Structure 1
Amino acid sequence: MSTLKVVAIDFGTTFSGYAYFSEHEYKRDPLKTSTNADTGRLASYKTSSCVLFDPTRNFHSFGYEAEENYSALKGKNHDWYYFRNFKMMVYDKMGLTRETLIKDGKGKTMEAITVFSSAIGYLKSHLFTNFKKQSTSILDESGITWVLTVPAIWDDKSIQFMREAAEKVGICRERLILVLEPVATTLYCKKRFPLQKGTSHNVFKSGEKYMVIDAGGGTTDITVNEMRTDGSIRELHKASGCDWGGKNVDSSFISVLADIVGKDVMENFSVINDYDFLALLNDFEMKKRTISPDLNESVTIKVPKSLPETFSERNPRSKITDVILNSKYKDQLTWIEHEIRMDANLVKTLFDEICMQIVDYLNDLFTVPAFTDVSCILLVGGFAESLMLQTAIKEAFENKKIVIPKKAGLAMLKGAVYFGQQFR
């Protein structure tokens, strides 16, 4: 009989996934964890945070599969329910309950608990299916410890909401643990950077203060902690931050296009041709991962033909090329049929505002007397993998030790697995 010891599930604004360790892995390496290596369009160990329901409100698909299915529906998707980045939809909804409603891209509403529980149920099913394919022995589901990550800014009602969503898809209350995201992140870094040999200080020695910056797709959450003598964590600054996530870079990109074709054209395009709008964002997502301060070459992004068609319908006497020649982008951007080529400097400016907002907030935080002696910054989350953000923080805080784990987007998820091990 094969035993899964701990399974952790993380819902990100942009990507969601799970990690686990089995009895077999634990005997070989107590720190060994496995993740869902998704085979979707983007190179990621998670899958897209998208849920698709059919017109009768029954769950249809999740992740990249949901994106593909929704796009395939094209003009026949009006009665379907498609939720993308649904975690961000409840960002300002403190006190989540079973009655809380969220809207999909076309304004249709559904109970938030149905959306969340369907996502948990999918990831649970995906895990079991894959695990059974890889193992010849019988899977014992009864002994699994389940761990769900929750934002530190959520209140008790919202945390209870997540617990109920998990129970709704068969996860036993007695086997379920919820962990705050900064706690999971700290535990991961503590496990992976235990000694810090060759440095002037140890990040995790008793009395050391450190900052955790969890930069995700939708938000950037910041906490300040102190290590106690018994190895426990004392919270000095409760999670704060704002909607300063990687999606802001997407918004800056869309704003550039709106400056050219018109805000009304972009809004119409994103609603009427939402499947093409999704394809545009996905192509940009792949390209933005390669952008660094050293980038010198132009970046080419595919543009669905429905966007210039929408422009022509609303501006029959104008051409996009002429608009560009008369705009501030005339020397920075070219639009050739269904591709746009953006100058390297223009692409890099898409990161400027969001990076500046994060750095400015950190500068303000470090003026607080209790935090002036914070010596280390742990930078994690999907957006933390951006070389543009990494460089901005390193340059702004040269006097701080910056720790960025490999695959920073998985730090919290793997930390949640370690957290679950403590309760076995």
Structure 2
Amino acid sequence: MNWKSDIRVVVAIDFGTTYSGFAYANKLNPEVITNDTWPEVAGVLKTNTVLKYDQNLKSVEAWGLPALAQKASRRAERNSTSKPVELFKLHLGNMPEKEKPALPKGLEYKRAITDYLTEIETVATRWPNVNFMEQVLLIMTVPAEFSEQANASIRECAYKAGLISTQYADTLQLTTEPEAAAIYCMRTLKEHMITEVGSSFMIVDCGGGTVDLTTRELLENNRLGEITERSGDFCGGTYVDKEFIKFLRRKVGDSAVNLLYENHYGQLQYMVQEFCRRVKLPFTGNRKDFKTYELDIEEVCPVLKQYVTGTSKVKLEKDDWIIDLEYEDVKNMFDPVVGKIIRLINGQLNASPGTCAAMFLVGGFSESKYLQTRIKQEFGDQVKNINVPKQPIAAIVRGALDYGLNMKTIKTRVLKWTYGIELSPQWKKGDPPERKISHGRINVFSKLVSRGTIVDVDQGFGKDLFPSIEDQSAASMKIYKTPALDGKYPDEPGMEKLGELILDFPDSHLGFNRKLEFTLSFGQMEIRAFCKNQNGKSVDAVFNLEF
């Protein structure tokens, strides 16, 4: 494609649930530069995915770490004009509405995403040669579980944030988080004696909100193929933090935590950050290594004292406002989350057709020694190589950058859905009578490709179309997906309408003597549409997603 030859700089953005980062490189001199300078923080490769608006939600007052946690002080009280907005990326995920984080009234999640990406854009353009409107290829990572609609929303927000010049620009390409991590880890395969073509390895991307998995096969010429369906769930590191909040509720009462949340959210988050730094990160699961942690409410969050009442207050006063976190307390915070991750890994191993030569743990939560230990205990006999690469928190953004520098690295992907179109042939004897529609026709699902199919990234699936009326000048088709391997009708359980494919039908003077060859490509993160007439000339084809 012509646009590829114009690219001079590649920028990769890892927009995460709890932390985000970006990296860039010049295409001709691909030295990877990972940003480590953020508002009020330097020397770290990611910053918090958090925004703080003014009281009227008109502008962003702060973002990153300064928007989140505040130690108790008069200055913090004066500056606490509104609550931080966090975890807004989860609104893109396929999770129950009641489990999605609440947003301030009047703030739509797409605006929050757009505003955050705008702040990223402001920092990124300070680097030499980074101008998103000129000769820049942008790679953005998405969770493995994201739907086509979620990916389209990311594209829309990137456009509104000024990261691409048009909403459907080819200069924005998506890759999944575990796929980017696989590319990063591919550098280290030789260190682990994995050089044979056909060897497979698993990536377990343990982020803050989600854990995503993919199993990849090493192909010739240092390319990668996907050999199982990508999988994932909402069981990242922040779910341990949530278990800590549940523990706190049992000690001080629901009412006290609710009032702290409502009136002093920054101090609540400061207490959570202290828990992460002093308890969560050092926890190894080895009882001998553990020392009881004394959570000193008067030191860490003194404002909480005024909200504690009843028997909880009496006990805490007796204990000098110190809450002990014992070994079993902390282990119980980890185990529900770690258990989910182990089940995900087990599912990936069971789905893999051969032996898994290595497993790489990446993402911020992968630095947990307890998580590492549990995974090695569970799967050490099946997978001899279980490793955490250097700087696992940056594995995704650096792998995404590598992908942008050489987009041929990924050869194949495994489809998670069965895709097809709606056709309306003549109703015939044996078809259900109740499905007969006007003009004696019936709506049916016509499969293009099945779930589980290994496809090349540019591989197309399509059909030949002929005009149904003599002077037809356009055609439209509804596109559906289903988790089943096939389907009969577009309205049966499990079917989901993805959108509509709009095709120009030129040369109407030729009447019925015309043919269109349309193709849909499902091998990339976004569905692409192509069409040509019987002379091989390209015809306009637009795929509009259903929202």
TM-score w.r.t. the length of structure 2 is 0.63
The aligned counterpart of 2:398 is: 414
Match of 2:341 among 340, 358, 373: 358
Amino acid of the structure 2 residue aligned with 1:238: E
Partner Cα distance (1:228, 1:48) in 2: 36
Higher relative contact order (CA 8 A, sep 6+): 1
The aligned counterpart of 2:358 is: 376
The answer (yes or no) to whether the contact 2:205–2:362 under 8 Å persists in 1 is: yes
Match of 2:155 among 156, 163, 182: 163
Where 2:161 maps in the other structure, the secondary structure is coil
The aligned counterpart of 2:522 is: none
Where 2:269 maps in the other structure, the secondary structure is helix
- Cα offset, 1:14, TM superposition: 1.2
The aligned counterpart of 1:97 is: none
Amino acid of the structure 2 residue aligned with 1:179: T
Match of 2:190 among 179, 195, 207: 195
The answer (yes or no) to whether the contact 1:52–1:70 under 8 Å persists in 2 is: no
The aligned counterpart of 2:389 is: 405
- Cα offset, 1:403, TM superposition: 2.6
The aligned counterpart of 1:245 is: 236
- Cα offset, 1:213, TM superposition: 0.8
Partner Cα distance (1:382, 1:316) in 2: 35
The aligned counterpart of 1:45 is: 45
Tell whether 2:285 aligns with 1:293: yes
Partner Cα distance (2:115, 2:375) in 1: 37
Taking only the aligned residue pairs, the percentage that are identical comes to: 24
The aligned counterpart of 1:327 is: none
The answer (yes or no) to whether the contact 1:31–1:418 under 8 Å persists in 2 is: no
Q: Residue deviations 1:55-95, cap 9 Å, x none?
A: 333231311132269996748867x463112212332369x
The aligned counterpart of 2:182 is: 186
Q: Determine which structure has the larger helix proportion and give its number.
A: 1
Where 1:196 maps in the other structure, the secondary structure is helix
- Cα offset, 1:237, TM superposition: 2.4
Match of 2:86 among 72, 84, 87: 84
Match of 2:305 among 304, 308, 317: 308
The answer (yes or no) to whether the contact 1:4–1:20 under 8 Å persists in 2 is: no
* Cα separation, partners in 2 of 1:347 and 1:317, compared to 1, 3 Å: closer
* Cα separation, partners in 2 of 1:81 and 1:7, compared to 1, 3 Å: same
Where 2:389 maps in the other structure, the secondary structure is coil
Where 2:57 maps in the other structure, the secondary structure is coil
Tell whether 2:95 aligns with 1:111: no
Partner Cα distance (2:42, 2:375) in 1: 26
- Cα offset, 1:408, TM superposition: 0.7
- Cα offset, 1:357, TM superposition: 2.5
- Cα offset, 1:125, TM superposition: 0.5
Amino acid of the structure 1 residue aligned with 2:176: L
* Cα separation, partners in 2 of 1:7 and 1:392, compared to 1, 3 Å: same
- Cα offset, 1:345, TM superposition: 5.0
Partner Cα distance (1:147, 1:20) in 2: 10
Match of 1:223 among 186, 207, 214: 214
- Cα offset, 1:154, TM superposition: 1.2
- Cα offset, 1:416, TM superposition: 0.8
Q: Residue deviations 1:205-229, cap 9 Å, x none?
A: 3212222111111111122232334
Query: Where does 1:62-141 land on structure 2 (aligned, <5 Å)?
Result: 62-67=63-68, 74=77, 80=82, 82-92=84-94, 105=102, 107-129=104-126, 131=127
Partner Cα distance (1:352, 1:223) in 2: 23
Tell whether 2:321 aligns with 1:320: no
Partner Cα distance (2:58, 2:357) in 1: 50
The answer (yes or no) to whether the contact 2:207–2:236 under 8 Å persists in 1 is: yes
Please give the root-mean-square deviation of Cα atoms over the aligned residues, in Å.
Answer: 3.2
Partner Cα distance (1:83, 1:406) in 2: 31
Amino acid of the structure 2 residue aligned with 1:408: P
Q: Residue deviations 1:147-174, cap 9 Å, x none?
A: 1111121122211111111111222224
Q: Residue deviations 1:80-127, cap 9 Å, x none?
A: 463112212332369xxxxx9x98756524222211111111011012
Amino acid of the structure 2 residue aligned with 1:418: D
The answer (yes or no) to whether the contact 1:4–1:140 under 8 Å persists in 2 is: no
- Cα offset, 1:372, TM superposition: 5.4
Partner Cα distance (1:352, 1:316) in 2: 26
Where 1:241 maps in the other structure, the secondary structure is strand
Where 2:255 maps in the other structure, the secondary structure is helix
The answer (yes or no) to whether the contact 1:223–1:238 under 8 Å persists in 2 is: yes
Kindly tell me the number of residue pairs found equivalent between the two proteins. Answer: 385
The aligned counterpart of 1:270 is: 261
TM-score w.r.t. the length of structure 1 is 0.80
- Cα offset, 1:46, TM superposition: 0.6
